[in-house]
Amino acid sequence: MAGSTARGDGLARAALVRLVRDEGRRVLATLVRLTGDLQLAEDAVQDATVRALESWPRDGVPAEPRAWLTLTARRRAIDLIRREGARDGKEAGTVVPPEPSTPEPPEVLRDDLLRLVFTCCHPSLAVETQVALALRTLCGLTTAEVARALLVPEATMNKRLTRAKQKIARAAIPYRVPEDHELPDRLRGVVATVYLLFNEGYAATAGDDPLRPALVDEAVRLTRLLRELMPGEPSVLGLLALELLQDSRRDARYDRDGLPVLLADQDRGRWRHGLVEEGVVLVGEGLRRSPGRPDPYVVQAAIAACHALAPSYPDTDWSAVLSWYDVLLSVQDTAVVRLNRAVAVGEQQGPGAGLAEVEAVTGLEEYALWHAARAELLARLARTDEARAAYAAALALPQNTAQHAHLRERLHALDGISPPGPAPGS
C-alpha cells in the first residue's frame, strides 16, 4: 500500500481513484454516525477524497488510508460546523465526538455501512430516489456521474438528491439497522433497489454512455458489500448469483453492430466462466439457506444457472428450467414470469404448445416482449401473416433501440428467408 508508485501511471491512477472511492464510502458511513447529518458528512468526505487524490500521488499512499481519510473528513466536518455556527451567530447544533484513541473495530464500521444502506433504501423514499442515493452515497459516484448514468439532467439530479437528504434530515428517517421483525421486509426493499440499479446497467447498450453499462459493476460491488454485511441472507445470495450469471454473458450479448444476440445464438465460448462458477455456488448456498420457502432471487438465479451450464441452446435442460419456473410461480406469480415459463414450454414441447401457453398469459398486451414471443412462435409454426402482425404489434410498443432493431430484422427475415426447421423437442 505504501509508496508513491501512482505518479504518472494511468492504471495506478485508476486504482488510486478506486481505492479512495471504496474507502470513501466507508468513511462516509462513519461520518454520518459521528455527525448525524448526511449532507455534512458528504461534504466533509468529498473534501477529504479531493485532498487524498492531490497528496497521495505526491507523498505516497498512507499506511492506513481509511484512517487518514476519516481523520481528514472529521476535521473538515468540525470546520464546517464551526463556520455554520459563526454564520448563524449561535452555537453549532451538531457536535462531532472527540477522536477515538484506537482505531474503531470492524463491527462498528460494518454497522455504520449497514445503517447507511437501510437509510438510503428507506421505503419512505421513492424508488428512483433510492437508486440515486445508493449510487451517490454507497457507490461513491459524483452527482454528475449519477445524473449521466441514470439519464437525468445534472440539475434535476442535484435537486432530487438534495431533497432526499433534506427529507432524511427533516423527517428524521432513522439511521439504524431494522429490528429482526421488520428486517425481512426492509431487506426485500434493499435487494429490489440494488436489482433495479443492476438492470439500469444491464439494459444499457453499446452505444450508450459507458457510465450506464458500468452500473452493472456498481450493482455487483454493492451486492458483494451487502453479502459481506449480511452473510447468509438468501435474497442477497440469490441477487448476487443472479447478477453474476446474467453478467457472465456480457461479452456475447451484443454483436459488432450493437444488436442484441439471442441467448440461442450467443457464442458460449465468450461467456465468463469464472462468474458462472461463482454464481452456481451461490445458488447452492442460497437454496440451502432457504429450504422451506425458496427465495425468488435464488430461484431466478437457478434458472439463469440452467442456461449458463448448458453446453448449447438445444442441450438446455428445459425440464429443469420449467420446474424452476413452477417453483418461482409458487413464490412470485406475475404475468412476466408466466410469459418466460411459456417460452420455455415452447422450447421443450414445440412451438404449438408454447404458443398456447403464451396466449394464455393475460395482462401483457402493452408489453413488447409478449408480442415478440408470440411472433417468434407463430413464425416457427409458419403462420407468417399472423407472425408479421405480431412483430408489428411488438414494434409499436416501448422498448430499447437495440431490441427494436432486432425485431425489425426478424420481421424482414419473415419475408425473405423461410422459417427455420423444426424446433428442438418437436
Partner 1 sequence: MPSYIALIYNADVDWSAAEHSETMAEYGEFGRAAAAVIRGGAALYPTSTATTVRVHGGKGGDVVTTDGPYAETKEALTGFYLFECADLDEAVATAARIPGARDGAIEVRPVIPPMQR
CA angle 74, 76, 82 (to 5 degrees): 105
CB of 119 to partner 1, least distance (A): 10
CB of 171 to partner 1, least distance (A): 4
> What's phi and psi for 178, nearest 5 deg?
-60, 155
Give the residue with the Cβ less far from partner 1, 173 or 187: 173
CB of 115 to partner 1, least distance (A): 12
| Helix (H/G/I), strand (E/B), else coil: 38 | helix
Give the residue with the Cβ less far from partner 1, 131 or 173: 173
Contact present, 305 and 280 (Cβ < 8 Å): yes
Burial 340-370 (b: 16+ CB within 10 A, else e): bbbbbbbbbbbbebbbebbeebeebeebbbb
Inter-axis angle of helices 106-120 and 214-229, nearest 10: 130
Give the residue with the Cβ less far from partner 1, 173 or 299: 173
Give the residue with the Cβ less far from partner 1, 173 or 215: 173
CB of 125 to partner 1, least distance (A): 10
Enumerate binding residues for partner 1 (CB under 8 A). 122, 124, 170-174, 176
CA distances for 365 relative to 307, 369, 393, 420, angstroms: 27, 9, 9, 26
Looking at this protein, which amino acid is placed at residue 70? T
Give the residue with the Cβ less far from partner 1, 173 or 191: 173
Give the residue with the Cβ less far from partner 1, 126 or 144: 126
CB of 93 to partner 1, least distance (A): 9
CB of 174 to partner 1, least distance (A): 4
For 11, residues 6+ apart whose C-beta sits below 8 A from its C-beta are: none
